Amino acid sequence: MYDIKLCDIPRTEVDDIVNLLETFIVDPSRCFRKPIVVYIAALALMDFLSGSVTGIGVIYNYILCALGKENSSSLEGTLFAAVFAGFTICTANMLALLLSCERLFAVAFPIDYRQKSTVRRGVIAVAAVVVYSLTFSLSNLAGSNWRSAPLRFHLTVTAPFLALIAVNIALVMVIRLHNRKTECLLEGSVRPSNYSGVESKRRQREKTLAVTTQLIVFCFVTSLLPYLIFKLMDLYLPEYREQDWFFAGVRFFLPFVYLNPAANPLIFNFRIAHFRRAFRLVFMSRFEPRDRHLRLKVIQFSSSERSRDIQ
C-alpha cells in the first residue's frame, strides 16, 4: 500500500517533467525532436490547463452566477472567468489549427516539409499563438464593456474555428489525392522490390498521424460548436439571455468545452504506438527513479521498435 500525501503531488509533477526532459535528451531515435511533437506537447499542456485549472475556475464562477451570487447571466460568468476562458479556448483553437496545418503541409509537400520544418520554427509558432491569445484575453480588462466584443470574439474563436474546419477538409482531400497518385505510380511503373513496402509504410505512418489529428479536431469541433452558437446568440441576441431555455442550454453544453481535453490523451495513447511507449516511460518511471540504466534500456528498446516499424 502506498501512503499518498498531498505534498507528494507537486513532487510527482516535477518528476514527470524531469523524466520528460531526460527522455527528450537521451532518446537515441530522436522521435521526440520533431516539429509535430512541439504541437502535440503544447496541445497536451493546454489540455492539462483546460481540464485542471481553467475548467474548474469557469464552472465554479458559473455556479456562483446560477446561485445568484454574481450579477451575471453570461456564458463565462465573472470577468476573471472570461479572461481565462478566452485564453484557453483561443489557444486550444489555434494550436489545433497549427497541428492541422502541419499535417497538411507534411502530406501535400513531403519534400519541402522535411527540408523546411524544424523544431525551432514550431516553438516560435506556438509562442506566437500564446502571445496572440494572451493579448486578446487580457484586453478584456481594458474596458468595462467586456461582454460586447464581437470583433474580439470573431478574431479569437470564430475565424480560427472556421479555418480549422477548412484546413481539415483540405487535408482529407489531399490524402485521398495523394493515395490515388501513389497507387498509380506503383502500379504503372517499374520500382525496386523493396520500394512498395517502404512507400506503403511511409504513407501509412502519415495517414495515421493525419487521422489522429482529424480525430482530435472532430472532438474539439463537436465540443466547441454548441458554445459557439450560444455565444453568438449572447452577442447578437441579448434578449434571449434571460430565457430559461437559454440558461438551461448553456448550463448543459458549457462543461463539454472543458471535458473535451480528457479525450486527446486517450486518442494519442491508442493511435500512436511509439508515443504510447515513451509516455508510459515518462509517467511510470518515477516508481524506480534511481534505476537510470534500466530506463535507458527501455528508451533504446522503444527506439529500436520504432525503427523497425518505419524501415
Between 27 and 161, whose confidence is greater?
A: 161
- Over residues 231-282, the pLDDT tens digits come to 888 888 888 877 888 877 877 787 787 777 777 777 776 776 666 666 665 5
Query: Could you give the CA distance from residue 167 to residue 97 in angstroms, rounded to a whole number?
Result: 8
Q: Which long-range contacts (CB under 8 A, 24 or more apart) does 248-257 make?
A: 250/75, 251/62, 251/66, 253/226, 253/227, 254/58, 254/59, 254/62, 254/75, 254/227, 255/55, 255/59, 256/223, 256/226, 256/227, 257/55, 257/89, 257/223, 257/224, 257/227
| Residue 73 DSSP one-character state | -
Between 276 and 100, whose confidence is greater?
A: 100
Query: Could you give the CA distance from residue 267 to residue 230 in angstroms, rounded to a whole number?
Result: 28
Q: Helix, strand, coil shares of the chain as percentages rounded to 5?
A: 85, 0, 15
Query: Could you give the CA distance from residue 107 to residue 174 in angstroms, rounded to a whole number?
Result: 7
- Over residues 146-178, the pLDDT tens digits come to 455 788 888 888 999 999 999 999 988 888 887
Between 247 and 94, whose confidence is greater?
A: 94
Query: Percent of the chain beyond pLDDT 70?
Result: 56
The confidence score (pLDDT) of residue 6 equals: 39
The confidence score (pLDDT) of residue 69 equals: 56
Amino acid 307 reads S
Chain centroid offset of residue 57 CA: 20
Q: Which domains does the chain have, with CATH numbers?
A: 11-187+195-275 (1.20.1070.10)
